[in-house]
Amino acid sequence: MLIVTGGAGFLGSALLWGLNAAGRDDILVVDNLGCGEKWKNLVNRRFVDYLHKDAFLAAISRQEKPFGDVEAVVHLGACSSTTETDAEYLMRNNFAYTRAVARYALAQGARLVVASSAATYGDGSAGFDDDPAGLDRLKPLNMYGYSKHLFDLWARREGVLDALASLKFFNVFGPNEYHKGEMRSVVCKAYRQIKETGRLKLFRSYRPEYANGGQQRDFLYVKDAVAVMVWLVEHPEVGGLYNVGAGLARTWNDLAAAVFAAMEREPAIDYVDMPEALRGKYQYFTEAKMERLRAAGYDRPFTGLEDGVDDYIRGYLSGADPYL
């Protein structure tokens, strides 16, 4: 059996899609569905059972093997809001919970894949190298990134980092992110904004070396993120810390052009002031160094930005069924 925590979330439900496509439905989904519409991410998917995240934590805390023999645990459950300010909550929900899951999985010899984040790199001044030797140089700009960074530091300190795979995801976009509110990708928000107004708002730049809309990010289509995770589940011998991005920085203007093209509209962009609260915490450039994952044996190509945006908009956002 496989366990996917955060299995009803964006990455988690997309992973279920990938696992189902690979012929796997012997999956326990762990999550907190709450009162929103996250449950819709599960409608098209196949799995054997669902368990609330608190019940799961209680079970693995009481018993060594509460679910029998488990082949792999993919831990994607976390608060993913980069603007969350409740540090105690993030320490408990992101760091301590992930540590408990890791201890459980490693104790019974199950394959463990966990989600870290490119937010751990902070402003990027220390680079985007996923070599664990450089972890001490990183200074995340927000508490979300710090909560993820703490787990990577813990795993290295405990000597278990090579026994699991911790994935630093960059800017992931794609189907099944609809429940995330303000944490949805700009692609998703741009589609709705353009459909309603015909125009798109992007943040102005406050650094002279970047033009308005010229800020750069490493945009990753969710299907590529899924392909990496499925490959790692199938290759338990591969362990360590890995970036998961397209490996190429693109501008917000590039992304906007791709959205307008997929919607068959001429670009119409308005540059607006960035909220004061974000200006000191804004990443102007991210680009994943992908050499370590490639050296580990992952050789599939990554989807280009324009192709990923086109597939997302034409195949899902404007399609009959927006869900994977």
Active site residue 180: yes
Structure tokens at 68: 């029998």
Residue-wise pLDDT for 245-298, tens only, equals 999 999 999 999 999 999 999 999 999 999 998 888 888 999 999 999 999 999
With beta carbons less than 8 A apart as the criterion, state whether 312 and 264 touch. Answer: no
DSSP string, 47-86: -SEEEEHHHHHHHHHH-S-TTS--SEEEE--S---TT---
pLDDT at 44: 98
- Nearest CA-CA partner of 244 in 272, 286, 206, 203: 286
Whether 144 is catalytic:
yes
User: What pTM does this model have?
Assistant: 0.96
Please give the pLDDT value at position 232.
98
Confidence at residue 176, expressed as pLDDT on a 0 to 100 scale: 98
Catalytic option among 104, 144, 178, 316: 144
Contact call for residues 116 and 169 (beta carbons, < 8 A) = yes
One of 139, 180, 201, 289 is an active-site residue; which one? 180
15 — phi, psi (to 5°)?
-65, -40
| pLDDT at residue number 250 | 98
How would you class 149 by CB atoms within 10 Å of its CB: exposed for 0-12, middle for 13-18, buried for 19 or more? buried
Q: Which CATH superfamily is domain 2-173+220-247+285-302 in?
A: NAD(P)-binding Rossmann-like Domain (3.40.50.720)
- Domain limits of the chain? 2-173+220-247+285-302
**Cα–Cα distance between 24 and 101 in angstroms, integer?**
22
> 144-180, pLDDT tens digit by residue?
999 999 999 999 999 999 999 999 999 999 999 999 9
Place of tokens 């760091």: 95
Q: Which residue has the tokens 């199938």?
A: 234
Query: Cα–Cα distance between 321 and 161 in angstroms, integer?
Result: 39
